[in-house]
Structure 1
């Protein structure tokens, strides 16, 4: 079994799905909930869908109350971080001394801990096993527990394998954009569309059904029926549409009435208004 350096915060060693590590977190360890304070958690699109549903909030309400936006320098794409409390420890808004209030619906980053995950390339030609690394924080006593996992077992146990499948197109968009030369920038309009589709599923639904979207794009009725009232299906549809918009994929046919606008540095077709 691979032994992490106890003084290193993040080990640069690549882990595969079959790499082993030793860890268990429970209320009996003295550092319980300490890792939920002073953190930086980027929320995935599916994280927001699950949490807003758990809290019975609209996308707008959840984004306003619990997130703060930022633009990732390497991708030039907007993401949202979980907004921490303004207390001495900068605590997660959902953590209490006895645990997490939304544990069953906690974000993917929380589920992965003590692992980190990264993709080295977009999906075509990428390593199917992915790239994982071990996060070893000196304050965490969970590493002293005797339970041994493989990365594959941990992902299944924590439910991140399912979440990663739902977020796969979004992650691929992020990595694909990161591979572009630095001088190729997205327009503000493109960033707004990326943000809406990724994070504000309620607004995206209005965009699809209350604008000329379905007149401009040839989407069959069965597909429309699947995502009309299903946030996850709508998210998957929207991410495929973003690939068309930003990277000129051919997932959807565009009606001839659609006009062209500049989306990046070149001319591209117009998004619905």
Structure 2
């Protein structure tokens, strides 16, 4: 996609033309209960969840990772990577609504997923990979019903990301995003074993099971960590997530034979 019309300030033009946006690109947008389309963007869509999204939501709802995953998510395999992803399970209503949306707004707004925070922007290239373009690659989510573009509130992409807190979330999810980017570089003939996929799923989404894997198996005997790190991993979900992702990436990608590395990643079985 060529970089065209990025300086065009017309919201209508921005929604019609596929435009590559950078951090300094400007747009008009504001969503609030007074717009006629309020909450329509929360219905009939697939909301992809990141690892940090799940930590925030399961903590908000006072659920374990496994409980949250079972009640609120659906598993998928991400195209081109063959890695497991999860989306929010839709409600069984005519609009296939997000389970947390009501006519008055979002029930978990302070902990809403990253995809919701980015709206009306989408991320066209995964960030944080080695050698990534610092300018980023964003685009408008084209939904004709959206009236937020008609609101007189001006942003740059960078300002929007900071205001919505996605810059912080992208930083937490950086190792996970890098894993996805690296997996895309695998030749299509190379497939991960089912055990490797299960390990990726646990490390990415089931932080409570990951903690049991680290502390209740022989993991720490095979990979000793400092006592202060051990204490942090025992209580801090974000620290454990990032530790687990770094470990999985190192095991899976250190050698050129991913099948052998995936097998090595299996470790002990923890239920």
Task: Answer yes or no: same fold by TM over 0.5.
Answer: yes
1:213 is the counterpart of 2:219:
yes
Matched residue, 2:141: 135
Matched residue, 1:188: 194
Matched residue, 2:27: 21
Q: Which structure shows the higher helix fraction? A: 2
- 2-structure distance, mates of 1:33, 1:112: 15
- 1-structure distance, mates of 2:200, 2:68: 18
Quick one: which of 241, 266, 271 aligns to 1:271?
Answer: 266
Matched residue, 1:164: 170
Matched residue, 1:91: 97
Matched residue, 1:227: 233
Deviations 1:59-83 (A, max 9, x none): 1110000000000121110000100
Matched residue, 1:258: none
Deviations 1:190-230 (A, max 9, x none): 00000000000000000000000000113222221221100
SS of residue paired to 1:240: helix
Deviations 1:116-161 (A, max 9, x none): 0133576221112321111131100001001110000000000000
Q: Which structure shows the higher strand fraction? A: 1
TM-score of the pair, normalised by structure 1: 0.90
Count of matched residue positions in the alignment of Structure 1 and Structure 2: 261
Gaps of 5+ in 2: 1-6
1:238 is the counterpart of 2:233:
no
1:216–1:165 distance in 2 versus 1, CA, 3 Å: same
Structure-to-structure mapping, 1:95-174, within 5 angstroms? 95-119=101-125, 123-174=129-180
TM-score of the pair, normalised by structure 2: 0.91
